[in-house]
Amino acid sequence: MLVVRAIQADDLDALYVMATQVGSGMTTLKPDMKMMGDRLAIAVASFAETIAPEKRDYMFVMEDTDTGRLAGVCAIKGAVGLNEPFYNYRIGTLVHSSREIDVFTRMETLYLSNDLTGSTELCSLFLHPDYRSANNGKLLSKSRFLFIAQFPHLFTEKLIAEMRGYQEENGRSPFYEGLGRHFFKMDFDHVDALTAVGKKSFIAELMPRQPLYVAYLPDDAQEVIGKVHTSTAPARRLLEQEGLYFEGYVDIFDAGPVLQARVSELRAMRDSVLAQVGNAAAPDAACATLPDPEPLLVSNTTLHDFRMILSQTAPVNGAVALSAAEQDALRCADGDAVRTLSLNSRKNPHV
């Protein structure tokens, strides 16, 4: 069984092994023992609530309980941009118009901004290729929404997720070649590596401070603004199903979109419910025609040992039946509260 759980201090080695399998472009998970150790320490302190909420970094790992192997990782940062500036381009519009000669020109612009400072960030999603099947990706990505729904007071009102931007098959980023290269005079991989070691804001010091007209960029750079990397497209769809949307902020290097949402408007906040572990009993007559249960995300409600699984059960009258193995995976027992959310958003919630 796959369990998504709060990371533990002794996960470091397994995490390192997994990080060696991430390609260029994933900026937050680099195989660097020192960096990972530091980050893990913060994550452990976050779940233990020994550091302030805005400094927290909740990391989750997906564990295969049959083998004890780590299958994936994801994280929620309490707040971004409070230690060093968090930069994005905001896509804006400037209208140049002259009544005198009847010219009206609408120009898209890129403004360097720190607008998203202080937002809670979903980040560091990685699923090992061996596990990229069935609902595993959804389980890993959406586990974070259940966590937020269970502990909304730990997060700021605004939630964001930076998506990896478009790259050609050979790794070339048209946006970087059209813009950043002129100002940094270094390769994208190099910039990417600096970003990974927390030097993104230093690099941003080299960016033009003034708004840029998109029309100055080469066509291939213009076309990829707000476009995700091909391999990131499924991840984007998952987040959009949960209530995140693109609102015109993009990465300063590869122009990948920043998705954002208000925490209170997430599907998980609206639709997840608490239920009691127990014998859900046979459905009564009124529900005799209950269809096959849909996959259901189920989590415990313990912050320091948060755990979540995917189950084929369905909550009935505030109770949910879980097998012994499932209860074991969630470290809960009969009578404990669990939080549940259907894995997929219902197409017709009112039916």
Partner 1 sequence: MYVVRPVELADIDALEALAAVPMPGVHTLPKTREKILAMIEGSIASFAAQVDIASEESYLLVLENLADGAIAGTAAIFAAAGSNGTYFSFRNDVIQQVSRDLNISHSVHALTLCSELTGYSQLSSFYVGEREQGTAEAALLSRARLMFAVLAPHRFSDRFFVPLAGVTDTDGGSPFWDALGRKFFQMDFLDAERVIGGARNRTLIVELMPHYPVYVPLLPGDAQAAMGQIHPSGELAFNLLTAEGFEADDYIDIFDGGPILQAHKNSLRTFTGALQRRATVAPELRDRGREPPVRYAISSGAEHNFRAVIADCAALEAQVTVALPAEVLDTLNIADGDTVICVRI
Q: Which residues contact partner 1 (rule: CB under 8 A)?
A: 96-98, 100-101, 103, 105, 107, 178-179, 182-185, 194, 199, 202-203, 205-208, 210-213, 215-217
Instruction: Name which of 97 and 344 has its Cβ closer to partner 1.
Output: 97
CB-based contact 294:283 (threshold 8 Å)? no
Please tell me the distance from the alpha carbon of residue 23 to that of residue 156, in angstroms, as a whole number: 31
Q: What is the dihedral of CA 343, 134, 147, 79, to 10 degrees?
A: -120
CB-based contact 63:5 (threshold 8 Å)? yes
Nearest distance, CB of residue 24 and partner 1, angstroms: 19
Instruction: Name which of 222 and 301 has its Cβ closer to partner 1.
Output: 222
Instruction: Name which of 225 and 266 has its Cβ closer to partner 1.
Output: 225
Nearest distance, CB of residue 107 and partner 1, angstroms: 7
| Given 96, 153, 182, 229, the catalytic residue | 229
- Residue 76 half-sphere exposure, CB side, CA atoms within 13 Å? 29
- Residue 3 half-sphere exposure, CB side, CA atoms within 13 Å? 20
Q: Which residues of 32-68 are buried (b: 16+ CB within 10 A; e: fewer)?
A: eeebbeebbebbbebbeeeeeebebbbbbbbbbeeee
Q: Is there a catalytic annotation at residue 229?
A: yes
Give catalytic residue positions: 229
